[in-house]
A and B are shown apart, each in its own frame.
Chain A
Amino acid sequence: QKEVEQNSGPLSVPEGAIASLNCTYSDRGSQSFFWYRQYSGKSPELIMSIYSNGDKEDGRFTAQLNKASQYVSLLIRDSQPSDSATYLCAVNRGTDKLIFGTGTRLQVFP
């Protein structure tokens, strides 16, 4: 079992729709959780961090964390073609390193 799992996609959604990206992790001791966006040929860019159970909203982005189910999700409301990218889930287990998933490719079509 991979430490951080994501569906590779592609996830295709129409412009204006809600895109829902999911991530599960194996270590129950994980403490902090991050979503990165990576455009093709570019470096990962931090878009959301979440540390406690529940929802965290920032603009069109909402991160959701359920530690009991070991599940993190990212919702993107009013999806735009510019949101088309690979979204990487990352988990910190309390050590000084992030464990990344393989990413979900999102395609938003006009």
Chain B
Amino acid sequence: DTAVSQTPKYLVTQMGNDKSIKCEQNLGHDTMYWYKQDSKKFLKIMFSYNNKELIINETVPNRFSPKSPDKAHLNLHINSLELGDSAVYFCASSALQGNGYTFGSGTRLTVV
């Protein structure tokens, strides 16, 4: 059983398109996150939700909009995709503040 699952695994799209990435966790965790990993492997937090409530919103362009319909799901919608959005996007979850995360398998987004 996959603990944190993301879809799709790969996404290739043209500039200007709108796309969504979905994440689901079956660990019963209260907190979920979106991280972006760039080509130099740097992982940077984008958003965090705790039990459907947005608690962290880092300096991210407004084109990125997260949504959490329930505490087991966290989606990321991206409008007007740009070349610089190309990266691997990881979903993660944690049980308690200060605990380590469990990461999903990642979505490799390529904007052409």
Q: Please list the residues of chain A having a beta carbon within 8 angstroms of any beta carbon in chain B.
A: 31-32, 34, 36, 38, 42-46, 49, 86, 88, 90, 92, 94-100, 102-103
Contacts and interface: CB of A to CB of B under 8 A. Distances in A.
Interface SS of chain B: strand
B104 interface: yes
A96 B97 contact: yes
Given A42-B105, A43-B103, A45-B103, A97 B48 contact: yes
Contact of B33 (A92, A94, A97): A97
Nearest to B40: A102
A42 to B, nearest CB: 7
A95 B33 CA distance: 13
Given A43-B90, A44-B90, A100 B102 contact: no
Nearest to A86: B41
B45 A98 contact: yes
B100 A49 contact: yes
Interface in B33-51: 33, 40-45, 48, 50
Contact of A46 (B45, B97, B102): B102
A36 B100 CA distance: 9
A102 B43 CA distance: 7
Interface in B5-47: 31, 33, 40-45
B83 interface: no
A31 B90 CA distance: 24
B48 to A, nearest CB: 6
